[in-house]
Amino acid sequence: MHTINLTESFDGDFVRKIECESEQNVSLCYQCGNCTAGCPYTFAYDIPVSQVMRLLQAGQKRTLLSCKSLWLCATCESCTTRCPNNIDVARIMDVLRHEARRQGYGSERSVKVFWDTFLDSVKRHGRVFEMGLAVEYIARTGRFWTDLELGPAMLSKGKLAFKPHSIQGQAEVEKIFERFQQQKEQCA
């Protein structure tokens, strides 16, 4: 454990940015721990969600953006639903992820790759092409054993389409991503 110098390491701009983008007031959190108590993913987190809130109050940008928990949150809304102070905690987790991406963090690589691959599939086809997503994910991560044992069941049940369901508006969807990228670059 190291000592956190609160005067020096408190990043007020970071706190304000997260508050602004999530439309939440982190001062409302009184650290009751209900979010951690309800979170099904606490067992997998490196920092429990109530401590994510605490570190956010303390303006600890680096610790937060580099933590794995951000990538392991499934947005199941348990924290948001049960927060006694009506804080939308799941939305704060989401916004922290956005910021982590912008700052080049991605501490749980497999999850980030999976999400990126998913969105690439949407961009390319307009709809998710599940088979293509699986193949691409495996190729990108090199984890060729992923769900190998499920293949036969999937195929025999006819649950995997071999061809993408391309749509007429594929270009429109692709443009959503492109415009988003352009706007992001303009802002940066």
Site for other proteins in 6-25 (CB under 8 A): none
Pick the piece of the chain touching other proteins (CB under 8 A) from 3-11, 12-20, 55-63, 145-153. Answer: 145-153
Helix axis angle, 89-102 relative to 49-57, nearest 10°?
70
Q: Does 38 bind other proteins (CB under 8 A)?
A: yes
Identity of the amino acid at 187: C
Tell me how crowded residue 146 is: count the other CB atoms within 10 A of its CB: 14
**Which residue number, 42 or 63, has a Cβ lying nearer to other proteins?**
42
Q: For other proteins, which residue of 4, 135, 139, 167 counts as binding (CB under 8 A)?
A: 167
Q: Does 105 bind other proteins (CB under 8 A)?
A: no
Hunting for tokens 């025999």 — which residue is that? 156
The residues, ordered by sequence, that sit 6+ positions from 175 with a Cβ below 8 Å of its Cβ are: none
Identify which of 112, 87, 94 has the alpha carbon closest to the alpha carbon of residue 31: 87
Q: Does 69 bind other proteins (CB under 8 A)?
A: no
The CA dihedral of 8, 14, 20, 26, to the nearest 10 degrees, is -50
Q: For other proteins, which residue of 10, 11, 82, 107 counts as binding (CB under 8 A)?
A: 82
Pick the piece of the chain touching other proteins (CB under 8 A) from 1-9, 10-18, 59-67, 164-172. Answer: 164-172
Give the largest CA-CA distance in the chain.
61
Helix (H, G, I), strand (E, B) or coil at 49: helix
**Which residue number, 27 or 85, has a Cβ lying nearer to other proteins?**
85
Q: For other proteins, which residue of 31, 62, 135, 139 counts as binding (CB under 8 A)?
A: 31
Query: What tokens appear for 119 in the block?
Result: 């969105």
Q: Does 155 bind other proteins (CB under 8 A)?
A: no
Site for other proteins in 108-137 (CB under 8 A): 108, 110-111, 113-116, 118-119, 122, 126-128, 130-131, 134, 137
**Which residue number, 7 or 156, has a Cβ lying nearer to other proteins?**
156
Identify which of 112, 124, 73, 143 has the alpha carbon closest to the alpha carbon of residue 134: 143
Site size for other proteins (CB under 8 A): 79
Q: Does 78 bind other proteins (CB under 8 A)?
A: yes
